Structure 1
């Protein structure tokens, strides 16, 4: 028959109590040191620019074989607090047809959104149904993908300043493999 020494039992009970206390306090201390979850992304409310130019644009080339002349009105190029690069894009065909879009590229999610189209008379046509679309190498978002990779984005963030974005687009690194 073994006998339990009283001092040893007290030390064991004291150690057990210490471990139990640590286990109760640890989750609270751990939770206090954890960084908060980032708030979900919130898109800024935007309206198309009231003033823009279809002539004073910064031109760039997306496809050497294309007859379209593309450019961004530099006064409209912004990097907004929500991380979206917004701009007025001007596209002119060799026959003189003009398309003007107000759109944005979200580098963090590789998406593009067309906010409005200029009606070539005096106003923007906006759609309440404008949705973010994933950038792709083919299809309707190919041009925006080329712009994103050619200077609008640096990985998942905007490429510095509007001036830097325009310089990168002008440098001609926008053409994608076919």
Structure 2
């Protein structure tokens, strides 16, 4: 009879050990790998969605709605168009990885509607302290609210249409 109380004391420990194994079975042991990014068609003015970065800049910022995608690798890819007050326009195809707060430049757009792939463009941290960082604004307000990746392009487009929260 003294054996029964000792066994009952061990049951919670055995159950806990089994739970740990179950958690291990469901954990993601595979390292993250990026899927190949495919360049989108060059943006059209009719598809550009404006977004706010900061009152500290006179530049205007847009995302091409048709270019937004959320890959199987959980990278939000998009074309951004920056129109400077002086008339210059910069176009680039980029990605944001919400899980790590990183960004990547894939290609630069040219006025003739062509792309040039970016050289040596790896993943870099988003500058979260800069008031002028459009990537920070996209990360915080539209593509990664609360650090969570948007489900799909439709959710990202809806967020841009609503404006920053």
Query: TM-score higher than 0.5 here?
Result: yes
Match of 1:12 in 2: none
Q: Which structure 1 residue ranges, 5 or more long, are not aligned?
A: 1-28
Question: Which has more radius of gyration?
Answer: 1
Structure 1 residue 173 displacement after superposition = 2.4
Range 138-147 or range 55-64, more displaced? 138-147
2 CA distance for matches of 1:112 and 1:94?
Answer: 25
Structure 1 residue 156 corresponds to structure 2 residue 109? no
Change (3 A) 1:62 1:141: closer
Provide the C-alpha distance between the structure 1 equivalents of 2:145 and 2:49, rounded to a whole number of angstroms: 20
Q: Summarize the Cα distance change of 1:139–1:149 in structure 2 as closer, same or farther, 3 Å threshold.
A: closer
Q: Residue 149 of structure 1: CA displacement?
A: 0.4
Poorly superposed stretches of 4+, deviation over 6 Å: 29-32
Distance change (3 Å), C-alpha of 1:45 and 1:137? same
Separation (CA, whole Å) in 1 of partners of 2:34 and 2:47: 29
Q: Is 1:49 matched with 2:40? A: yes
- What runs of 5+ residues in structure 2 fail to find an aligned partner? 1-17
- On the 8 A contact 1:152/1:158 being kept in 2, the answer is yes
- Which residue number in structure 1 is paired with residue 125 of structure 2? 134
Q: Normalising to structure 1: TM-score of the pair? A: 0.70
TM-score by length of 2: 0.75
Range with greater deviation from structure 2 (159-168 or 88-97): 159-168
Please, which of 58, 64, 87 is the counterpart of residue 67 of structure 1? 58
Tell me which residue corresponds to 2:84.
Answer: 93
In 2, distance between residues paired with 1:131 and 1:59?
A: 26
Q: 1:100–1:118: 8 Å Cα contact kept in structure 2?
A: yes
In 2, are the aligned partners of 1:103 and 1:113 still within 8 Å (CA)? yes
Worse-matched range after superposition: 46-55 or 35-44: 46-55
In structure 1, the partner of 2:136 is 145
> Does the Cα contact within 8 Å between 1:135 and 1:141 map onto a contact in 2?
no
- Preserved contact between residue 54 and residue 90 of structure 1 (Cα < 8 Å): no
Call closer, same or farther: CA 1:53–1:129 in 2, change over 3 Å: same
The alignment covers a number of residue pairs equal to: 146
Q: Deviations over 1:39-80 (max 9, x none)?
A: 100100112213431443011111134221211111111011
